[in-house]
Amino acid sequence: MEASLEGNVKYNYRANFDCHPDGPHTLDDVAHKPVLLTVIEVLPKEKKQKEEKTATLGQAVLDLLPLLEGLCFFSSTLQVHPLPGSPLETLRPDAKCAIDVSVSVQESLLSPTQLLEGNLLRVTVEAAYAVPEAFVPTGPPQNYMVGFQVPAVGEKECPFMFKNGTLKLGGEREPVPRPKKWPVVNILAPGGQNIPDSFIVGGPYEEEDGELTTAEEREIRIQGEIIKKRIVWDLERRCYLDPAAVLCLQKRIADSRYWPVEMTRVPLVASTKGKTGKGDKGGGGGVAGTVEEEAISFHGVAFVNLVPLLYPGVKRIRGAFRVTAYHDSEVFEKTKVLFSLFRDIGPQGTIAKLGMMGLLAPHTKNLPGKNTKEDKPKESILRKPSMVARKDTSDITIDGAPSAVQNLEGQQYVESGTFLVIEFALDKPLVPKRLPEELASRVREMIPPRPQLPRKTAGAKKAVEDYHTQITSIADSILDEYHELFGRSLAEGLVVDSQVLEDQKCQLNYELNSSGKYFAFKEQLKHAVVKIVREKYLKTNAFDSLDQLQAFLSELYVYLVDQMHVALNQMLSHQSQSPPPPVFTTSDQLRLFAREAQMNGDFALASIYYQERLARDRQDIGSWLDYGSFCLLTEDILKAQECFYEALALDANHLPSLLLCGIVAVMLEKDEDAEVYFEDATCIEPSSILAWTILGLFYDMQGNTIRVEMAFHEASKLQKAHLAKERPPPESVDGGGRKPPASRLGSMIPTGEELVSEETLETSIKTQVDLLEPTLTLSLPEEEQVPVPMPKSSKRLSVIPSKLKMGIPKEGAKSVVVTFGAEVAPVVPLVPTITIFMEAAVFLLEANALQFVHRALAHELLCPHGGPSCDYYLVLAQTYLHKAEYGKMEECLELALQIDYLNPNIWAQKGHLSFLTGNTSEAKDCYERTISFVTDAKDMHFVYLRLGSIYLEEKEYDKAKNIYLVASKKSPSCLTWLGVGIACYRLKEFVEAEDALSEANALNNNNAEVWAYLALVCMQGGRQLEAEQSYKYAVKLELANELLLQEIKMVQQEVGFGDPSF
């Protein structure tokens, strides 16, 4: 082919190949193997030359993935990447060679069912960090490999082999973003090895899904990724999963949770037979025809927790996972797998034993590998493919298996702290997540939103109403002025005739003008008149002539006079309604009164107060929630549901309303509705720790352990992020403005994926050498240092995920360890002051959802940062208080006091317990201790009330008066002022007693005891009428205090009045 003047060449080259599940090219090949286009230049023949010379210019890489997305035709322009030594390397940067390629198939490779229910799995092996010191770049060449299997076609296994890892020394961090590479070896052009538009971007450690994500383990990650050796692959392997394989993958993840990812090293030796390599079916392979692989060594395994892939909506997990020595017993215990990809088939024999499709049949017997000397009869039970083991593994024993032999080479992974960074990604989540719009629609269907309030009157009608209001106000002021001037004369019987009225009118006008009130009335009326001109007559511009102005003023004057008469007639009409009585109590005070009645066990009175709040303002969400929580306390679940529905109807995005609606739905056994409410809450406020925690408690009730772990993990992650924001970030430079050395990066770098500056990278090795100076050696002697043991693995509880905590192992020479320990700043762990479960328990306790409270407290005991704390026992004691189980409550409070003896909340609850059980002397001591603390308890109001009542009972009236006055100052109520009135009455301070009782009566005029003491005060003051009226109301309200009633009778007999019935 010859090029045109424009530099274009038309090839019109066509190539075909068959893609069939049983053929040489399968869907798996289409997914992960690109088509390579090699550009070859044919040089002119020279004289006496028999054959033409050719030169390979470059390669273009074509990705066939669009065919797995349902496309039957696509075209692409591919860059031609030059080969080493090619003339294309000498071209200027802006001159790039490209090839236009079109790909077509006769029909879609996937059926509609496969497109809808199938999935595409992408696995990226990035690097293994902190590898053993035995891995050195010198010596015989080694092939570092990672491998595992996944179901691809039904239950048939597809091996994922990642070969030819590059061993690198420490000293710098791997750059991000960096491109991912194809898992094949026949791409000769360096630039063609990168997958287009696919990069490794990293991210903060806290957002990863693996291990080594806590603040305590941050230093281990920093050291491993910067200082220590690593093996880098950066390979992405893709595989299409048919619908049956997707279901199989879900089931296996749910059954075993962990996925074994093997890692090994295979030495490469020169081939003695000169045989050429086969096609690469399983991924990146060795160099064909030059080397062959020997027996595996350093056999390790990383247990990757794939459970997050079963979380709704999750398509990707990425994290660092520890590499441990491969032991059959441990692998079988965690994954129920008795098959090793490297050991039972062999790294080189894997491809030959996979069959034409590259898949392992689930019932295929183990084939003998090339290392036949290692295939012993007693290992036959362990060398079957994994699907055989998964059929029934309950009767399999591995006591006599060779895995009991220690894997000394693999143990070096543990000693070095090796961890593998790997990523699993799917095109579609295994478990779809309902969209926020769908959840909101479901909520609206269950609870229709309230209709919008009618709009306020505006425009002309509102302007006229404002004018009427001002006229009425001015008329009232003029009448008051008239009454001041002539009211006394009228009272003395002055005859009013026309002349008198005229004189009064003149005098009134004089007084209004001389005092300036007339002009004040004009100013008061001016704004209303302007609104009428603008809104009713639509006059906003200047008039064209004086005649137009006069005509408009005449028309306006007539209209204003008519409306003035209308307003005056309405004011003087007897049909006008009397103004509503003034309100002396606010909504917060009514809530306080309701809680007082609730604490005293008077639920009927408490219900009246809650309903009165709703009657005043039915648009207040808080009033509905408070009344609903009260109904939960009285076990009226249906009424509580109505209250929460009303609150949610007012605001469909109100988080507490959604959560409480879900809680009531659980109580009514409507789990499907409850799930909708809880999921909608997490969609409306994804950053709410409370919403995710309660969602996890709900899933725990259903026994869905995977979603329990998802919800609690999300809540814990949000709490850690919140704590990280509250803690000030570490300084990036020291006092002299100098960059920190590499050994301090663990305490200086805020995120796990930040790039290290060039200056730090260049000086990192030098810094490590400088740290060996004797002047920096500040650590303890070796015999005084406490070793930190490194656990092999960690097991997750089914109710909450736990993170593996590891210490930093000793590594290298003694001097290096000592100086490094002296140089590294300690990492302060982020320990929350309150766990996610205690936060949820406090909210649920306030809502009286005791069923959820006990479940949250059960998880608190299992939480790593929780346990039987003071707050735990305090909340548990309050739940027993609601149930009147005073014995269990006392046990909890005693345990809480052993933990925190100076907690005022504990002493307050202990006082309530003694008060309710009739032990007033102990209650008095506890209450006095509570108020003596510098920090107040949570509900001091009730402490004051009950302590004051004890003082009254013990006739310590001065103390009672003082304590009730303190309560009245902080949160006044009818009961606080009543206590002040009683104490003052007993102290013979009748004036103060009457003032206090009047305040109590203003806050609640339906309290019979207030009227009773008012009757006593009035009788002591000799006021018969007031005494009889007060006594009448006390009897009408059914005074229940018999002793007080007897005292009133005695005083009535002494003074001779007070009872109108005699």
Q: Is the pLDDT of residue 326 over 80?
A: yes
**Beta bridge mates, 261:** 302
pLDDT (0 to 100) of residue 742: 37
Q: Is the pLDDT of residue 388 over 80?
A: no
Q: State pLDDT tens for residues 581-602.
A: 566 688 999 999 999 999 999 9
pLDDT (0 to 100) of residue 487: 75
- Between CA 944 and CA 968 the distance in angstroms is 10
Q: Which of 329-338, 490-499, 616-625, 1042-1051 has the lowest mean pLDDT?
A: 490-499
Q: DSSP label at 165? A: P
Q: Is the pLDDT of residue 171 over 90?
A: no
Tokens (6 digits) for 19: 């893609």
pLDDT (0 to 100) of residue 126: 94
- Yes or no: say if 261 and 56 are a contact pair by the CB < 8 Å rule: no
Q: State pLDDT tens for residues 907-924.
A: 999 999 999 999 999 999
Q: Is the pLDDT of residue 2 over 70?
A: no
Please state, as a whole number, how many other Cβ atoms lie within 10 Å of the Cβ of residue 731: 10
User: Average pLDDT, stretch 50-78?
Assistant: 86
- Between CA 1011 and CA 1004 the distance in angstroms is 10
Q: What share of the chain is helix, strand, coil (3-state, %, to 5)?
A: 50, 15, 35
Pairing of strands 98-104, 142-153: unpaired
pLDDT (0 to 100) of residue 514: 87
Q: State pLDDT tens for residues 71-129.
A: 899 999 888 888 887 777 777 666 678 889 999 998 888 888 989 999 999 999 999 99
- Between CA 996 and CA 1013 the distance in angstroms is 11
pLDDT-derived band of residue 23, with 50, 70 and 90 as boundaries? confident
CA geometry: angle 796, 123, 281, nearest 5 deg: 130
pLDDT (0 to 100) of residue 1030: 92
- Between CA 779 and CA 454 the distance in angstroms is 76
pLDDT (0 to 100) of residue 140: 86
User: Average pLDDT, stretch 552-569?
Assistant: 89
Please state, as a whole number, how many other Cβ atoms lie within 10 Å of the Cβ of residue 263: 29
Phi first, then psi, for residue 854 (nearest 5°) are -65, -35
Burial class (CB in 10 A: 0-12, 13-18, 19+), 679: buried
Q: Is the pLDDT of residue 408 over 60?
A: yes
Please state, as a whole number, how many other Cβ atoms lie within 10 Å of the Cβ of residue 647: 25
pLDDT (0 to 100) of residue 491: 66
Tokens (6 digits) for 475: 């008329």
Residue burial 302-337, b: 16+ Cβ < 10 Å; e: rest? bbbbbbbbbbeebbebbbbbbbbbbbbebbbebbbb
Q: Is the pLDDT of residue 980 over 50?
A: yes
CA geometry: angle 173, 176, 182, nearest 5 deg: 105
Q: Which residues 6+ apart lie within 8 Å of 394 measured at CB?
A: none
- Look at 37 and 756; give whichever has higher pLDDT: 37
- Between CA 324 and CA 263 the distance in angstroms is 9
Q: Taking the alpha carbons of 1003, 1007, 1008, 1013 in that order, is the dihedral positive or negative?
A: negative
CA atoms within 13 A on the CB side of 306: 28
CA-to-CA separations, 144 to 32, 138, 141, 263, 1029, in angstroms, rounded? 20, 14, 10, 8, 99
Please state, as a whole number, how many other Cβ atoms lie within 10 Å of the Cβ of residue 737: 6
DSSP string, 913-970: HHHHTT-HHHHHHHHHHHHHSSS--TTHHHHHHHHHHHHHHTT-HHHHHHHHHHHHHH
Expressed in angstroms, the distance from the first to the final Cα of the chain is 131
Q: Which residues 6+ apart lie within 8 Å of 839 measured at CB?
A: 689, 690, 693
The pLDDT mean for the chain works out to: 79
pLDDT (0 to 100) of residue 17: 85
Q: Is the pLDDT of residue 270 over 60?
A: no
CA-to-CA separations, 579 to 576, 583, 616, in angstroms, rounded? 9, 12, 16
Please state, as a whole number, how many other Cβ atoms lie within 10 Å of the Cβ of residue 141: 14
CA atoms within 13 A on the CB side of 317: 22
pLDDT (0 to 100) of residue 12: 81
pLDDT-derived band of residue 3, with 50, 70 and 90 as boundaries? low
Q: Is the pLDDT of residue 840 over 90?
A: yes
Residue burial 382-418, b: 16+ Cβ < 10 Å; e: rest? bbbbbbbbbeeeeeeebeebebeeebebbbbbbebbb
pLDDT (0 to 100) of residue 4: 67
Q: Which amino acid is at 386?
A: S
- Between CA 977 and CA 994 the distance in angstroms is 10
Virtual CA dihedral for 1010, 1013, 1014, 1020, nearest 10 degrees? -170
Q: Is the pLDDT of residue 353 over 60?
A: no
Q: Is the pLDDT of residue 54 over 50?
A: yes
Please state, as a whole number, how many other Cβ atoms lie within 10 Å of the Cβ of residue 237: 27
pLDDT (0 to 100) of residue 390: 42
pLDDT (0 to 100) of residue 400: 40
pLDDT (0 to 100) of residue 974: 93
Tokens (6 digits) for 951: 């003082």
Q: Which residues 6+ apart lie within 8 Å of 403 measured at CB?
A: 327, 328, 329, 330, 331, 382
The 3 state secondary structure assigned to 726-743 is HCCCCCCCCCCCCCCCHH
- Between CA 171 and CA 769 the distance in angstroms is 12
pLDDT (0 to 100) of residue 831: 62
Angle (deg, nearest 10), helices 621-633 and 603-616: 160
List the one residue out of 118, 306, 324, 291 whose CA is nearest residue 710. Answer: 306
CA atoms within 13 A on the CB side of 913: 24
pLDDT-derived band of residue 809, with 50, 70 and 90 as boundaries? very low
Radius of gyration over alpha carbons of the chain, in Å? 43
Q: State pLDDT tens for residues 648-690.
A: 999 999 999 999 999 999 999 999 999 999 999 999 999 999 9
Q: Which residues 6+ apart lie within 8 Å of 92 measured at CB?
A: none
- Yes or no: say if 427 and 119 are a contact pair by the CB < 8 Å rule: yes
**Beta bridge mates, 264:** 145
Percent of the chain with pLDDT over 70: 78
Q: State pLDDT tens for residues 545-555.
A: 888 888 888 99
Most confidently modeled range among 281-295, 624-638, 733-747: 624-638
pLDDT (0 to 100) of residue 640: 95
Percent of the chain with pLDDT over 90: 40
Burial class (CB in 10 A: 0-12, 13-18, 19+), 927: buried
- Yes or no: say if 614 and 627 are a contact pair by the CB < 8 Å rule: yes
Collapsing DSSP to helix, strand or coil, 533 comes out as: helix
Q: Is the pLDDT of residue 821 over 80?
A: no
